[in-house]
Amino acid sequence: MLYEHLSECPKVDGFSRIVAAFGIVGRESSLSPNTGLPVLLMKQRNGDGEFPWCWDLPGGAADPEDAISDDDRSIEGKHDRSIRKTLQREILEEVHVRSDYHFRIGAPLYEVRTSERKLVEYHLFLTVPFGPPKESREAINLAWVNPQSALGLKVAGLAPESKSMGPMAILMYDGFSVLSKPMYVGPLTKEIAGLACSDLSSNSFSLLDGGAYFGRLASDGAVKIYRRLNPFVPRGHFVGDLEYLA
């Protein structure tokens, strides 16, 4: 299996490609940091499909009408808009949440399923909801969780006993990362900009310092830096060169 944030889709000959989008739906309809309370919406699947009865994030795979081209390797332009269309449709179908405000979190995550000869491309967005979520045929239960309570759920791909995470669990903790209090709010220095995997902007959370942090520009031009959480590393988060800013 391959779970990596990469600059473009890896080429695997003879494998079909699946594109999926998932939403980080926060409890508050703002980008305010949480204070340790349950903040992230999780849904429990019904007994159909992959990971029956498990908990995961609202979202799912693209439909043909979403017009995501296999020939387009970028995440910009038409490709990006079609992925957002997938996100809007999926979160509306599954948890009845409408939203026109989506902030990309990191680069896509790729999973190579060798036995199925499939390449799955996961896109993650912070979603500002309009109105409360509701259960559906696909989402038979909803729960608000925090990083600690999530460890007690049967989350798809989360294995506390072996301290391992599959793609869905990685996406979940990336969501917790950007819903947490920033470790740094201040000027965008040359050092910080030089450690960004892509240009920092106000409408996305870019990976910094080899994937140890997320960074996002504030409306006043300052940068906010968030630790990238992982419950199975000693400090509960990855440690990079910018740790001294905390």
Residues 17-67: tens digit of each pLDDT: 889 999 999 886 445 555 567 888 999 998 887 889 999 999 999 886 665
How many Å apart are CA 21 and CA 108, to the nearest integer? 9
Q: Largest Cα–Cα distance in the chain?
A: 50
Q: What is the pLDDT of residues 198-228, one digit of tens each?
A: 889 998 999 999 999 999 999 898 999 999 9
Position 126: which residue type? Answer: L
CB 82 within 8 A of CB 129: no
Q: What is the pLDDT of residues 95-135, one digit of tens each?
A: 999 988 889 999 899 988 888 888 899 999 999 888 899 99
- 228 contacts: CB under 8 Å, gap ≥ 6: 173, 174, 177, 207, 211, 212, 213, 214, 237, 238
pLDDT bin (cut points 50, 70, 90) of residue 3 is low
Chain centroid, CA 39 distance in Å? 14
CA distances 38 to 6, 57, 101, Å, are 30, 14, 21
How many Å apart are CA 145 and CA 124, to the nearest integer? 18
Chain centroid, CA 99 distance in Å? 16
Domains in the chain (CATH in brackets) are 4-179 (3.90.79.10), 184-245 (no CATH)
